[in-house]
Amino acid sequence: SDQLFVIQSKIIQRLAANGPCVIIGRLPDVIVEDAFRIFICSSFKSVGADPEVEKEPEDIKKLESRIRAVDAKRRDYYQYYSGNEWGKPKNYDLCLNSGTLGIERCVEIIANSVTLE
């Protein structure tokens, strides 16, 4: 709801005013003027290749369906409150594919891209 967005915005603004912080989701790129905006994606193929994920086709289909549903909610939320298109590289400072880079390499790239004052 819009009221929840206002409350979340105030909390994010307070966090950012107190110093560097990491906020996942909730539109910090819209709420915090000088936010460093990162988008991380991956393909479904890389999710199925993850040794932590069961290999049963039914399990992978359920996981893919759940990921698509969560992504749709994220996209709708982002687009509703920002007016921008979710996942478009032009809306971010850094876009990474964790499926090809791996999570640890993504963390390394992000850490090397962000300078704390």
Measured CA to CA, the distance from residue 36 to residue 48 in angstroms comes to: 30
The CA-based angle 41-8-96, given to 5 degrees, is 15
The CA-based angle 63-80-90, given to 5 degrees, is 80
**Element containing residue 40 per DSSP (H, E):** strand 38-41
6-44 residue pLDDT tens? 999 999 999 999 988 889 888 888 899 889 999 999 987
Phi, psi of 110 (to 5 degrees): -65, -45
The residue among 90 and 53 whose pLDDT is bigger is 90
The pLDDT of residue 94 is above 90:
yes
